[in-house]
Amino acid sequence: MFARIRSFFTYLSYRSFLAVGSMYVAAASLIGFEMLAVILGYATIWPVGAPLAVIAIGLYVLAKRLLANWRRSRVTIDLVSNDSTEVSAEDESYLLHAIEVARQSRANGNHPFGAILVAPDGTLIEGQNTVVTSGDPTGHAETNLVRRVSAQLTAELRRASTLYTSTEPCAMCSGAIYWSGIGRVVYALPEQMLGAMVPAQDGEPTMDLPCREVFARGGSTVSVAGPAVIPEAAAVHEGFWDS
């Protein structure tokens, strides 16, 4: 009789071992082996350990999901907080200057984009688009401007400066602005409006990636203002992309 009872318990513990073992395999694939080692510690005091292990797995998976959600929401908050500056009347006059540079780019046989940088010491530097005349597809107005600015201004001045551009900077130009450490960007025409104007030529004519996203992914503190509703910003493109 005693032997029977003992073999029944041996059978039970064998079943438990299988159950807990398969639970561990499932848990390892979910949460990784480091956490599993902790749970194994709990489970050594079976049968109290197993429910604790289940609770620990549940809590850990839940915490991991909550943390991931919180991180995602942080990115959104950062994107919004980059909108802390608005387009002032002074900004608008500088945007009109940038659009005038875009008009000059077009008159010189290039694409109708222009940018200027205004430093707190009164320095004003212009950047035209040179894609056609230089034969360099990376000759965007902002990238050209950033190269010029970086050669002329210190890092401190760049940080305190504002870059004005006729159209929202593309991902490449946003990257250049980010690496140069320019503190603020103000743009007139949004990228999506440009995308609607430019026909699909060879491959993708524009990138559908807002500059705020590029800056936020870099974790930088570039503040962005725009789009600014200025009729001249769209007018400078009129008839250019039709052919």
Active-site amino acid positions: 142
Number of Cα atoms under 13 Å in the Cβ half of residue 211:
31
CA distances from 172 to 85, 138, 165, 178 (A): 23, 8, 14, 10
170 contacts Zn ion (rule: CB under 5 A):
yes
211 contacts Zn ion (rule: CB under 5 A):
no
188 contacts Zn ion (rule: CB under 5 A):
no
Nearest one of 175, 167, 156, 182 to 227, comparing CA atoms: 167
Shortest spacing between CB 123 and Zn ion, in angstroms: 22
Among 87, 95, 149, 173, binds Zn ion (CB under 5 A): 173
Give the separation between CA 20 and CA 242, rounded to whole angstroms: 68
Options 35-43, 50-58, 98-106, 172-180: segment touching Zn ion (CB under 5 A): 172-180
Residue whose CB is less far from Zn ion, 170 or 185:
170
Alpha-carbon 19 to chain mean position: 45
Q: Which residues ranging from 132 to 151 are in contact with Zn ion (CB under 5 A)?
A: 140
Shortest spacing between CB 142 and Zn ion, in angstroms: 6
- Across the chain, how many H-helices and E-strands are there? 11, 5
Residues that bind Zn ion (CB under 5 A): 140, 170, 172-173
